[in-house]
Amino acid sequence: MRIAVVDDESVFRRQITEEIASLYGREDVSCFHYSDGEEIIRSFENGFELDAVFLDIEMRSIDGMAAARRIREFNKDIPIVFMTSHTEMAMDGYEVQAFRFLGKPVEREKLRQTLQDLEKKLKIDEKIVLVKDGEQIVNSVSALIYVEASNNSCRFVFTRQQIELRMKFKEACALVDKCSQNFYKCHRSYYINLGHVKKMAATEVTMDNGQVLPVARSASAEAKQKLFEYVRRTGR
């Protein structure tokens, strides 16, 4: 696993790198140090490949949140782990789909769990298989933004493609549920991936692809509760 450690304190960069290496195994992980947000952004501009980013929020020049927004312009899926002493900023991190928040100083057991969860996400990303015209189409369920019902068909909207199948909405939701617990029926015609929610209001939800979808008034309170539970469960 190739991890970027971004922090303007060199002592902390060395400490967290040592902790990661001791927990994960020095032969199985490589940590690359960056002293500020501008450095990590230049790395992405140059096409350097990373598996995850451990990012301090409070830094000189470009802070962690601003850096994360720029990183998302290059890579929408890379896990970003924020490190901060201000845990109240957790909901701000949801805007950039933060993978986890670690309080500073970082607790060893929480770091261990984060590394284990990272490995699961990177190596065991659950797949959803759709059959269209006799052909199996395989996608990561995490890339599924939402399912939309339309007459007797359902449209599966992924980050990079859309697939329309002739099937009942109830069957489509059941198929998704076999792969993930992160979806919620916010409307009679929409089954959304909470991991792709950018903003939720009383009667509509904005997904991270820019699509604005309706939220049924009867589902509004529960939708917000499900989103809160998702954030608490995943640390996003």
Phi-psi region of 210 (alpha: psi -120 to 50; beta: other; left: phi over 0): left
Report the pLDDT averaged over residues 23-37.
Answer: 87
Report the pLDDT averaged over residues 188-198.
Answer: 95
Nearest to 51 by CA among 2, 100, 114, 112: 2
Indicate the average pLDDT of the chain: 89
User: Does this model's pTM top 0.85?
Assistant: no
pLDDT surpassing 60 at residue 235: no
Instruction: Name the residue with higher pLDDT: 230 or 89.
Output: 230
Report the pLDDT averaged over residues 46-70.
Answer: 89
* 102-128 tens-digit pLDDT: 988 899 999 999 998 898 777 656 789
How high is the pLDDT of residue 89?
Answer: 58
* 217-232 tens-digit pLDDT: 999 999 999 998 887 7
Report the pLDDT averaged over residues 40-55.
Answer: 92
Nearest to 218 by CA among 179, 174, 187, 173: 187
Tell me the domains of the chain and their CATH numbers.
Answer: 2-123 (3.40.50.2300), 127-234 (2.40.50.1020)
Nearest to 147 by CA among 103, 177, 113: 177
- Quick one: pLDDT band at residue 87, thresholds 50, 70, 90? low
How high is the pLDDT of residue 11?
Answer: 95
Say if strands 100-103 and 2-6 run parallel, antiparallel, or are unpaired: unpaired
How high is the pLDDT of residue 116?
Answer: 87
How high is the pLDDT of residue 236?
Answer: 56
